Structure 1
Amino acid sequence: MKSKKVIGSILLSLSASIWGGMFVVVKIIVGTIPPIQLVWLRYLIALVVLVGFSVATHTKWSFNRHDIGLIILIGIIGNTISIVTQETGTWLSNAQTGAVITSATPTFMIIFAWWLLKERLTKVSVISVAMATLGVIVIVGIHLTGSHILLGVISLIIAALTWALMSVLIKLVSGHYQPLQITIMSTTVAILCLTPFVMHNFQIIRQINFFDPKVVLCLLYLGCISTALAFVMWNTGLRLVNAATSGLFFLLQPIVGTLLGWLVLGEPLTWSFVIGTCMIIGSVWVSVRFEN
């Protein structure tokens, strides 16, 4: 049991770290490719990678028609609405604002887990989430800057809510399906949802310079690593760790984002980063150590 919790914690940490780099990549590319088209392209790339991996590894598929509605909900709520609103919110505000607002995700996960999974609201989970959220705020502060900031904030709140709901819904079906299968099916649903919007303005796709190294590298990161790899790891980790604890790992994103800003952009590291990082890591340790 403990070994599964450790493995789940590692997988959730890795996926959250990958998504920390995603904020930077999205901010770079979203000025060239609008959010809906960007999400559609990253899912197309991810689907090719996931299906190819499934075929290469001879993954066994199972299907229960009673779960079709739940799979569609996961694809619409998490893979479509959450990701589109996250990238839209980051585009209209900034990466720091996105990190702060999406730090509400663990709180929403606890509420949804209590409602849908009947998980207990414990002192440990409440204290852990409070510590982690304060840690994020200490790291990045609250810098409400950017064009159309109100729309950006609203989009990011929707992103946090829908991602939390999607993560809890996955736990309702994860016992019946392999994480790879769940990821492929939900990604397919997202592509079907987004395709009509993309086709309506297909000239945007035609205008993209796919020979630009910046465009290619960003799409490969978003499609292969941030979507195909990270989604499978996240979905696997959700099977091994309870919802209240798993949501805390989501907050490793601002740590990675700030470190990348220091390494890549030369942005300074401050004592607030050190203190906030200790609070987030401490909150995860408290939850993993003391939560039943």
Structure 2
Amino acid sequence: MEANVRWVALTAIAPVAWGTNYFVTHEYLPADRPLSGAALRALPAGLLLLAVRGQRPRGAWWWRSAVLGLLNVSVFFVLVYVASQLLPTSVAATVMAVSPLTMMLIAWLVVSERPSATHLSGAVVGLAGVCLMLLTGVEGVSVPGVLASAAAMLMSSFGYVLAKRWSADADVLASTAWQLTAGGLFLLPVAAAVEGPPAALSLSEILAFVYVGLIATALAFAAWFTGLRHLPAGTVGLIGLLNPFTGVLLGTAVAAEVLTVRQLCGLALVLAGVVLGRPARAGRRGGGRTRTRAVADGRPGSGEDSARDPSRCGPG
């Protein structure tokens, strides 16, 4: 159980960092260069992790890195960038809050992780909390922005589950580096063709890109994929609800906003949803592997068995 708490805490770094990303992108990054912005976010982060880990892809990981780079990085970053510029943070975060349910469904179909009743309950409670917390009805909504945010949510949910299925035999930092590097390399020529030569950046934009690249990308994605390696997809998806939770607290801290009773109730529901998604306590171990945690998480075998056998439902 202590190990599970450790993995949950590590995974939570990602949505907390992403919760600040909408604000930084919206306030400090150029709105008219989404492709260049996405490339400058992904490629330096990927190269940094590649330098830290020093491993190149081998075998199937060449094409897997390309596929995951497109899903989790290239297309996803562009869509998030567009959504950040077209939508209020509250609306974009609310659309992305549907991702736990989406991830559970995709994980069920792709890696045979049947969602448990507590995971489903947590997703519904958490989504209700996000809506209560953020949807006030006073902000304008851009239809293209909503479509971009929804597409990003679907794309990333599928990409994350694929990464969970494929990454049992790969180092987490290395596979994260490959995805980010591949995604950034895909974006560079497209950005140059569509948006032209790179524009000069102000000091505030450079600092914003450094933060987005190091914290909201390199650190966040490494933590997120580590969580997917060790936790059920349903648990990881519910931890992602800390993204809008962080956004609300950031608005309170930066803009000196006062939390209303409605928002406080929403925050409480979000936390309740995350708690409901925590991994089940492992039962006593006999001569073989316990099935208690696996059954509660909707998996046919234990996490340790899955880690040894990549053909099983997913990493443990």
TM-score by length of 1: 0.90
Counterpart AA for 1:111 = L
Measure the CA separation in 2 of the matches of 1:146 and 1:64.
48
The answer to whether residue 282 in structure 2 is matched with residue 283 in structure 1 is no
2:99 to 93, 105, 121: 105
The higher radius of gyration belongs to: 2
User: Is contact 1:90-1:97 (8 Å) kept?
Assistant: no
Measure the CA separation in 2 of the matches of 1:281 and 1:241.
18
Higher RCO (CA < 8 A, seq sep 6+):
1
How far off is 1:22 after superposition? 0.6
Measure the CA separation in 2 of the matches of 1:120 and 1:51.
34
Counterpart AA for 1:13 = A
* DSSP 3-state at the match of 1:119: coil
My pick for the range that moved more, 170-179 or 95-104, is 170-179
The answer to whether residue 127 in structure 2 is matched with residue 133 in structure 1 is yes
- Are residues 142 and 171 of structure 1, via their aligned partners in 2, closer, same or farther at CA, if it must alter by over 3 Å? farther
User: Is contact 1:93-1:144 (8 Å) kept?
Assistant: no
- Find the counterpart in structure 2 of residue 157 from structure 1: 150
- Find the counterpart in structure 2 of residue 217 from structure 1: 207
Give CA-to-partner distance per residue, 1:107-143, whole Å, 9 cap, x none. 1100110000111132112111100110111110164
- Give the 5 Å matches for 1:64-103: 64-103=58-97
- Find the counterpart in structure 1 of residue 220 from structure 2: 230
Q: Which runs of 5+ in 2 are unaligned?
A: 281-295, 298-316
User: Is contact 1:262-1:269 (8 Å) kept?
Assistant: yes
- Find the counterpart in structure 2 of residue 36 from structure 1: 35
My pick for the range that moved more, 137-146 or 113-122, is 137-146
User: Is contact 1:20-1:254 (8 Å) kept?
Assistant: yes
User: Is contact 1:183-1:232 (8 Å) kept?
Assistant: yes
The answer to whether residue 112 in structure 2 is matched with residue 118 in structure 1 is yes
- Give the 5 Å matches for 1:133-282: 133-141=127-135, 143=137, 145-146=139-140, 149-201=142-194, 203=196, 205=198, 207-209=199-201, 212-282=202-272
Measure the CA separation in 1 of the matches of 2:133 and 2:34.
26
- Find the counterpart in structure 2 of residue 58 from structure 1: none
Measure the CA separation in 2 of the matches of 1:62 and 1:93.
38
* DSSP 3-state at the match of 2:200: coil
My pick for the range that moved more, 22-31 or 126-135, is 22-31
| Aligned residue pairs, count | 282
Counterpart AA for 1:274 = L
Counterpart AA for 2:132 = V
Give CA-to-partner distance per residue, 1:35-78, whole Å, 9 cap, x none. 111111112321332233225xxxxx475423433322211111
Measure the CA separation in 2 of the matches of 1:42 and 1:220.
8
User: Is contact 1:96-1:142 (8 Å) kept?
Assistant: no
Measure the CA separation in 2 of the matches of 1:201 and 1:168.
31
Measure the CA separation in 1 of the matches of 2:56 and 2:40.
27
Measure the CA separation in 1 of the matches of 2:66 and 2:140.
34
TM-score by length of 2: 0.84
Counterpart AA for 1:17 = V
User: Is contact 2:15-2:241 (8 Å) kept?
Assistant: yes
Percent identity between the two aligned chains: 24
Measure the CA separation in 2 of the matches of 1:79 and 1:217.
21
Measure the CA separation in 1 of the matches of 2:252 and 2:61.
45
